[in-house]
Amino acid sequence: MRILVSNDDGIFSPGLTALAEVASQFGEVVIFAPDFEQSAVGHAITIQRPLNYHPVKMIKGIEAYRVNGTPADCVAMGLYHLGGADLVLSGINLGSNLGSDIWHSGTIAAAKQGVLLGVQAIAFSQVLNGAEPTYQKQKPYIADVIQMLIDGDQPRLVNVNLPNDPQGIRWAYQSVRQYNGKVVKSQDPLGRQHYWFSAIPLTEPDENSDRWAVDNGFVSLTPLRLSLTDDEWLVKLSNNSE
Ligand code: MN
């Protein structure tokens, strides 16, 4: 099995190394990752300038390349270089990607790019608790998730979030209700005004949502689809116009 590993935190992220190490239990692994951090760039692709990729020193014995592009570019470059792959893995992101984070996440976009190009993909993100992540408790769960998802009839795109102390695995839905996009005004050292945009959850998570699962110590798995069509509305509107 040939596995392409990417991320949005950049080629030097410890989460990337941890994921590639687990992936190497399942087959031949090659890393293509951005040459600097690209968190929250979503599914951007680079079209105004050329892309290139260069080998970097092997990461834990794994072939690795840095790309001067976005996470989605990295997956496109990697699949081009390899002539395809059986699985795309993205992460482990330094921080969770729950609920509405899915819209902004470069980690999930890298996985999504794999699926767009015809390859099954899994995105991994881990809750940050202020300390340096070690991944020791998470690695067996990551292996279990990969094993489960490459086995038979499984979703093509799955978003996985890992808590700090995992106690089990749960399928969960994307928690989209509680979103507070806030612009925070501040000043730079020269007294000039500047702004930070931050998105934080507003209320307690609903049971069985991804946020709830991770808050309760579960590794949350959410199957995602590429179609954004609101099927309910489409049916309703199509019937009305008949
Ligand atoms: Mn990131």
Q: Express each pLDDT in 142-186 by its tens digit.
A: 999 999 999 989 999 999 999 999 999 999 999 987 667 889 999
Residue 92 CA to ligand 1 center (angstroms) comes to: 8
Residue 227 CA to ligand 1 center (angstroms) comes to: 24
Residue 40 CA to ligand 1 center (angstroms) comes to: 7
- Which neighbouring-strand residues pair with 122? 89, 158
User: 90 lies in which domain range?
Assistant: 2-176+206-241
CA distance 113 to 72: 5
Is 194 inside any structural domain? no
Task: Encode pLDDT of 210-227 as tens digits.
Answer: 999 999 999 999 999 999
**The overall pTM is greater than 0.85:** yes
pLDDT at 242: 66
**What one-character DSSP code corresponds to residue 11?**
T
At 203, is the pLDDT very low, low, confident or very high (cuts 50, 70, 90)? confident
Is 199 inside any structural domain? no
Residue 240 CA to ligand 1 center (angstroms) comes to: 44
pLDDT at 178: 65
* CA-CA-CA-CA dihedral for 145, 148, 151, 152, to nearest 10: -120
Is 197 inside any structural domain? no
Is 181 inside any structural domain? no
Is 150 inside any structural domain? yes
Q: What is the DSSP string of 180-195?
A: EEEEEEEE-TTS-EEE
Is 195 inside any structural domain? no
Residue 66 CA to ligand 1 center (angstroms) comes to: 16
27, pLDDT greater than 90: yes
Residues in the chain: 242
Is 57 inside any structural domain? yes
User: What is the average pLDDT score of the chain?
Assistant: 94
Average pLDDT for residues 12-39, to the nearest whole number? Answer: 97
pLDDT at 177: 72
Q: Which of 152, 170, 177 is nearest to 222 (CA)?
A: 170
6, pLDDT greater than 70: yes
Question: Which residues lie at CB < 5 A from ion ligand 1?
Answer: 8-9, 39, 93
The CATH number given to whatever domain includes residue 8 is 3.40.1210.10
Average pLDDT for residues 98-126, to the nearest whole number? Answer: 96
Question: Which residue type does 176 have?
Answer: V
Residue 38 CA to ligand 1 center (angstroms) comes to: 7
How many domains does the chain divide into? 1
Average pLDDT for residues 44-72, to the nearest whole number? Answer: 96
Residue 41 CA to ligand 1 center (angstroms) comes to: 9
Which burial class, exposed, middle or buried, applies to 198 when counting CB atoms under 10 A from its CB (0-12, 13-18, 19+)? exposed
pLDDT at 125: 98
Residue 16 CA to ligand 1 center (angstroms) comes to: 10
Residue 241 CA to ligand 1 center (angstroms) comes to: 44
Is 201 inside any structural domain? no
